[in-house]
Amino acid sequence: MTLSRLLSKPQATDYQQVDTFWFPDESEENEDYECGNENDGELPILIGQHIFLDTGSISLNYYCTDCENVRTFSSGKEHGLRGVVVSQRVISIDCVLQCNCGSVVHTWFLVESEQDFRNQSPGVRILHFRDKLSGNVKLQSEQYGEFAEWLEKANQAHRDGLGSGAVIYLRKVFESITYNIAKVNDIQTTRHRSGRVEKRDFYGVLKDVDEKHSIIPNAFSGNGYKLFSELSSIIHGDGSEDDALKNFGALYTLVTGIIDNIKQKEELKSALQKFDWSMD
Ligand SMILES: [Zn+2]
């Protein structure tokens, strides 16, 4: 795998081996930089030095409002990628990604290598990632309309290594959408108990909604709902921080899969239009 391919994938916590991307270039050396570890004939580390990274281009998906669709934004192949040396193990990479129509996103990656990044085929991971969107670019989650903000907060929390925090936002979307479909389809969301009206248990409502409208994606509802129940229990707090981080991708796919299902069903479209965020 190339470094640029790794940077085009969702951020992972483990180090992954990539092709060698740094090749010594004498012309890049500059005496003004602070040097370290200059022994055993090893080239010095030049903190703050700009280096050329011999790897392909980075590609990430965003919603382009000019193209009115999700598009792949890429860094220019002809210019290659450049990084700034932070330490023997860390490089900062600044890069502008572009849609075919010309819309741009400014991205910044802090890449950490398990050992010296100059090694052959080093193991690396993304330590931090940030993007600054221009006016006509929105996050991919924008296609999820009302839910975009919460989905993006989930992504942001996950990128910052906050497993439980990320899952809380997904849970909010999951529960709100289920209760909303129930409301607009006359499925009971409350019950009477000892003369009081109280909210029905979430799973009861979800079961009724799914039986009538099949909102849970097939990939999750098969196999006796096993995967679905596992993910649901993580969403509802029965899991460790590690479980939350490890399963975030699957959880995100589950929740966005539910929204995709709803968008395709005529009878449920009104549930998306009359969305009510007030039901906490
Ligand atoms: Zn575009």
Give distance in angstroms: CA of 104 to centre of ligand 1: 8
| Residue 17 β-bridge partners | 123
Cα-to-centroid distance, 71 and ligand 1 (Å) = 6
- How many Å lie between the centroid of ligand 1 and the Cα of residue 143? 15
Q: What is the pLDDT of residue 117?
A: 92
| Total-model pTM | 0.65
Distance of CA 242 from the midpoint of ligand 1 (Å):
37
Residue 48 has a pLDDT of 92
Give the Å distance between the CA of 39 and the centre of ligand 1.
50
Question: Has residue 38 got a pLDDT over 50?
Answer: no
Q: How many angstroms does the Cα of residue 99 sit away from the middle of ligand 1? A: 5
CA of 72 to the centre of ligand 1 (A): 9
Question: Residue 247: its pLDDT value, please?
Answer: 84
d(CA 127, CA 142): 25
On average, the pLDDT of the chain sits at 83
Between helix 226-235 and helix 241-263 the angle, nearest 10°, is 120
User: How many angstroms does the Cα of residue 82 sit away from the middle of ligand 1?
Assistant: 24
Those residues whose beta carbon sits under 5 angstroms from the ion ligand 1 are: 64, 66-67, 71, 99, 101, 103
Higher pLDDT, 211 or 79: 211
Question: Hey, which of 42-46, 78-82, 139-143, 244-248 has the most confident mean pLDDT?
Answer: 244-248
Element counts in the chain: helices (H) and strands (E): 8, 13
Banded model confidence at residue 278, pLDDT cuts 50, 70, 90: very low
Average pLDDT in the 190-200 region? 88
Poorest-pLDDT segment among 75-79, 90-94, 104-108, 205-209 = 75-79
Q: Calculate mean pLDDT across residues 60-81.
A: 87
Whole-angstrom distance between the N-terminal and C-terminal Cα of the chain?
Answer: 44
Span from the CA of 65 to the centroid of ligand 1 (angstroms): 7
pLDDT surpassing 60 at residue 275: no
Q: What pLDDT shows up at residue 222?
A: 64
Ligand 1 centroid to Cα of residue 221, in Å, is 36
122 touches 17 (CB < 8 A)? yes
Residue 28 DSSP symbol: G
- Averaged pLDDT, 176-186: 87
Tens digits of residue pLDDT in 208-253: 998 888 888 877 776 656 667 777 777 777 778 888 888 888 888 8
